[in-house]
Structure 1
Amino acid sequence: MSRTTRTKIADRRLPGPRSRVIAVGTALLICAGAAGAAVASDATEGGGAALAAAGSRPHAEQREAAALTGSAKLHRMTTEDVTFAFDAHLAKRNTMRPDKATGTFRFVHLDKPGGKGGWAKGRIDCLMTGGKVATATGIITATNLKDIKGGRVGFTVHDLGKQDRVGYSWASVGGPDGTKKLPKCTSAAPFEKVRKGTGDFTVTPWHPTYPTD
């Protein structure tokens, strides 16, 4: 299915102007993977157990310059089931090199819990945090959407405690397109709400060091 066709389908599923990035931003992921990708069980690459594991590694608190961990589902008024998970870390020795961050990310977008949709996972290649806001990017290493494998995607998380917020680099273009040209640590504002009771994100603030002279 071409990107143009997928966009038209997404617009029919979620009525409203294309400028409504919440409607467009993730709807395309469902359409792209709905042609035969049932990915909800824990036995699949996109399963819930794997998502939880991606955000569950303990912090290496005293050795880290920054971190973004945890998993949660996005708030939706429809049956859609959208989950993001992060396990991103910047070692203390790399305080001034956010492009040396390591870790993993994963996202899943199903038409309903246990239904069909798309999933992707990958390795983190940049992480910057300011206060309780984190921006990270990574390379997709495995997915059921073949056109996006090898591309870079970005994420932004605002750690608000009771109801975090999430943004992603494809918010304004309809869906992750496999681009390799996205600059590191680039994403959209955290415009999406996390569904209460589905998980939580934790951001460790980054404190870059500068010359004092």
Structure 2
Amino acid sequence: MSRDTSTRIADRRLTGPRSRAIAIGTALLICAGAAGAAVASDGGGSRDAGHTQAREGAAHAQPREAAALTGSAKLYRKTTEDVTFTFDAHLAAKDNGDPAKATGTFRFVHLDKPGGEGGWAEGRIDCLMTGGKVATATGIITGTNLKGIKGGRVGFTVHDQGKHDRVGYSWASVGGPDGTKKLTKCTSAAPFEKVRKGTGDFHVRPWHPTYPTG
């Protein structure tokens, strides 16, 4: 067989189905390598940018709520008393101009010692106003073991100071929660109580009311 004939046969073999498959596979590997190199060269920047855009999109899709008071903590006592306040109060963005449309729950428990005897009450929030890191809220008592206060309104004030919070309540001057129905919404006492270290924390979301421009 002549050299020219051998060359033509080899050429036909290289252009057959198997050769085309090898060529396609090689091309795919080259493309994959180039794509990997591109990702490596930007340090994952494209992926990070995508995640950032997704987070920003979610933030725009879910408007910031107008105000909030959340968290649970025990009050400081030199005695064995165990006093706990818990809040989950929120004012929706759509209700920014009306704090009386706040929703959520509150609960407080006052025991003579941890696990001991005492009183408790819980209810629904009916007003919330915050300014900076200070929140004032009121709510209607819907459940309690104390006589005569169910259905009444009580108020709370919290100063969020980062695990050194302070708390006030509307019955500070009368010695116990009276649940008066005459208490005005969003009314309470100054936050004179201290939170016991390591027992919890409160979080206040500042309210940004709309100021008149006329």
Partner-residue secondary structure (3-state), 1:93: helix
Q: Which has the higher contact order (CA 8 A, sep 6+)?
A: 1
8 Å Cα contact 2:163/2:200 also seen in 1: no
Aligned to 2:200: 199
Q: TM-score, normalised by structure 1?
A: 0.70
Partner-residue secondary structure (3-state), 1:176: coil
Read off the aligned partner of 2:198 and give its amino acid letter: G
Deviation at 1:63, TM superposition (A): 3.2
Between the aligned residues of both structures, percent identity stands at 86
Aligned to 1:20: none
Structure 1 consecutive aligned stretches of length 4 or more whose deviation exceeds 3 Å = none
Deviation at 1:212, TM superposition (A): 1.9
Read off the aligned partner of 1:199 and give its amino acid letter: G
CA offsets, 1:106-146, max 9 Å, x none?
A: 00000000000000000000000000000000000000012
Aligned to 2:140: 139
**Residue 133 and residue 147 in structure 1: after superposition, are their counterparts in 2 closer, same or farther (change >3 A)?**
same
CA offsets, 1:52-102, max 9 Å, x none?
A: xxxxxxxxx843100000000000000000000000000011111000000
Alignment of 1:84-99 (within 5 A): 84-99=85-100
Deviation at 1:177, TM superposition (A): 1.2
Read off the aligned partner of 1:154 and give its amino acid letter: G
CA offsets, 1:32-64, max 9 Å, x none?
A: xxxxxxxxxxxxxxxxxxxxxxxxxxxxx8431
Q: Does 1:116 align with 2:117?
A: yes
Aligned to 2:183: 182
Read off the aligned partner of 2:100 and give its amino acid letter: D
Partner-residue secondary structure (3-state), 1:148: coil
**Alignment root-mean-square deviation, CA:** 1.0
Partner-residue secondary structure (3-state), 2:172: coil
Deviation at 1:210, TM superposition (A): 1.9
8 Å Cα contact 2:130/2:205 also seen in 1: yes
Return the structure number with greater helix share: 2
Q: Does 1:126 align with 2:127?
A: yes
State the number of aligned residues: 153
Read off the aligned partner of 1:66 and give its amino acid letter: A
- 1:155 and 1:116 map into 2 onto residues whose CA distance is 23
Larger Rg: 2
Deviation at 1:162, TM superposition (A): 2.8
- 1:62 and 1:131 map into 2 onto residues whose CA distance is 19
